[in-house]
Amino acid sequence: MRSMASWMKSFSRTAFLTGLLLLLASAALSVPGEEIGDSRVDVAIVEDIINPVTAEFIADSIRKAERAGSTCLVIRLDTPGGLDTAMRDIIKSIFTSEVPVVVYVAPSGARAASAGVLITMAAHVAAMAPGTNIGAAHPVAMGGGEMDETMMAKVENDAAAYSESIAKKRGRNLEWAVNAVRESVSEPAERALEIGVIDMMPATLDELLEAIDGREVDTPMGKKTIHSKGAAVHTKGMGLRQKILNVISNPTIALMLLSLGGLGLSIELYNPGVVFPGVFGAICLILGFFALQTLPVNYAGVLLILLAFLFFIAEFKVTSYGALTIGGVIAMTLGSIMLFKWDTRGELLGFMLKGVAPIVITITAFFAFAMTYAFKAQRTRPKTGCEGLVGEIGEAQTAIAAEGTVFVHGEYWNARSDEAIAVGDKVEIIGVENLQALVKKVSS
């Protein structure tokens, strides 16, 4: 019996220790690590013109991938090109990224033209889906206008040198990189892969992740190996705020905004007091400057909010029939969208209710409250001074044929009337001239 009891005790201890070890091993295996099954890949979708908002979106995507510890960031690209300054901001973000950045021109039918060429070549890994093309990076003037010969040569040489430096850094075809700028050459995906412009040509995102798995790339933090096979994929497009700003940042819209802004201010200068064209023009000009990246997004937001305050304050002094208030609300809304960022996860109602609406409603309500009391104060009849006597009822102290004396508001006043008034009659003050009350008889 003792041996049986001893054996049972020994078995219980062994089972307990075994269970504890299994539990600890399970917990250790559940901790995120470098294993393939636990890796994460972020995918940012860019399907529009390259502009300041695109640059902000890609920079935000890189920062979020860094914070999440993603094995890489894939930029799914389809663009006709865009602004040079925005393109350079994107390339700076890629070059300084701590996570490998993969540019994937997809789906079939997509393109990486103009600024998209340099962005693709700047990636740690450049890939294109079959049926896509890349090239035509020759610089052009905003709006399709023409530059003089000297300026065109300067811009072209600068763009060619920049393209060559990117190709050299990433080990891509130098000659083609220069020709894409100088001669606007363009290639389909198959040819681009053949001549060393891109690294691979996967048909799908899954094929891309399998192809780049195990690939080692250079980052500012040193060499990093991509573990993308079987990784959890987190796809993200622009949020509502960025979508709104992206529409404004379209170069065609930008030129239209500048034109409308100039026209509105011109109408206001030639016809002072119309108000609406001036309000509309001022808002359009600031939005146009932002869209062309003359004003950074934060400065544009601050200027719009300051403009809104000016409109609200001007409403006290100018009869605008609500135009200034409406302009102030619009400027405040757009300024708030530009100045502040919210992670809205694509929910329009949540974005408006949690982000912009409280700011706009609070400030608008404050000025509406203040204006209401200002209007009331303007309409209130004066209580003191000569103006305060008008409408008061007094009593004639002497007979008034043309002039006489009345007692009103606790004071004796010389009075004048166009009608005969007897002593003791009630009189109403209808005006004051040269410290003499103008009165009329109050009928009983």
Q: pLDDT tens digit string along 326-372?
A: 888 888 788 777 765 544 444 444 444 455 566 667 766 766 666 66
**Cα 281 from Cα 199, distance rounded (Å):** 49
Q: Secondary structure of 79-143 in the HEC alphabet?
A: ECCECHHHHHHHHHHHHCCCCCEEEEECCCCCEEECHHHHHHHHCCEEEECCCCEEECCCCCCHH
pLDDT score at 388: 63
pLDDT score at 216: 95
Q: Tell me the three state secondary structure of residue 318.
A: coil
Q: Taking 90 as the threshold, does the pLDDT of residue 194 lie above it?
A: yes
Q: Taking 50 as the threshold, does the pLDDT of residue 22 lie above it?
A: no
DSSP state of 442: P
The β-bridge partners of 263 are none
pLDDT score at 156: 93
Among left, alpha and beta (phi > 0; psi -120 to 50; other), residue 69 is left
**Cα 157 from Cα 317, distance rounded (Å):** 55
How many percent of the chain have pLDDT more than 90?
37
Q: In this predicted model, what pLDDT tens digit does every residue of 81-94 receive, in sequence order?
A: 988 989 999 999 99
Longest dimension (CA), the chain: 139
Closest CA to 86 of 251, 302, 229: 251
Q: What are phi and psi of 44, to 5 degrees?
A: -110, 130
Amino acid at 14: T
Asked whether the beta carbons of 254 and 161 are under 8 A apart, the reply is: no
pLDDT score at 402: 79
How many percent of the chain have pLDDT more than 70?
77
pLDDT score at 5: 46
Closest CA to 336 of 357, 362, 322: 357
Q: In this predicted model, what pLDDT tens digit does every residue of 137-169 receive, in sequence order?
A: 988 776 555 667 888 889 999 999 999 999 999
Residue ranges of domains in the chain: 36-237, 242-379, 387-441
pLDDT score at 120: 97
Fold of 387-441: OB fold (Dihydrolipoamide Acetyltransferase, E2P) (2.40.50)
Q: What is the rounded average pLDDT for all residues in the chain?
A: 80
Q: In this predicted model, what pLDDT tens digit does every residue of 392-437 receive, in sequence order?
A: 888 888 888 778 888 887 788 888 888 888 888 888 888 888 778 8
Q: Whole-model pTM?
A: 0.65
- Span 304-312, mean pLDDT? 81
pLDDT score at 433: 80
pLDDT score at 110: 96
Which CATH class, in words, describes the domain spanning 36-237?
alpha beta
- Span 253-260, mean pLDDT? 83
Q: In this predicted model, what pLDDT tens digit does every residue of 36-62 receive, in sequence order?
A: 346 899 999 999 889 888 998 999 999
pLDDT score at 377: 60
Specify the higher pLDDT residue, 317 or 417.
417
**Angle (CA) 359 256 115, round 5°:** 90
**Cα 42 from Cα 74, distance rounded (Å):** 6
Among left, alpha and beta (phi > 0; psi -120 to 50; other), residue 385 is left
pLDDT category of residue 443 using cuts at 50, 70 and 90: confident
pLDDT category of residue 387 using cuts at 50, 70 and 90: low
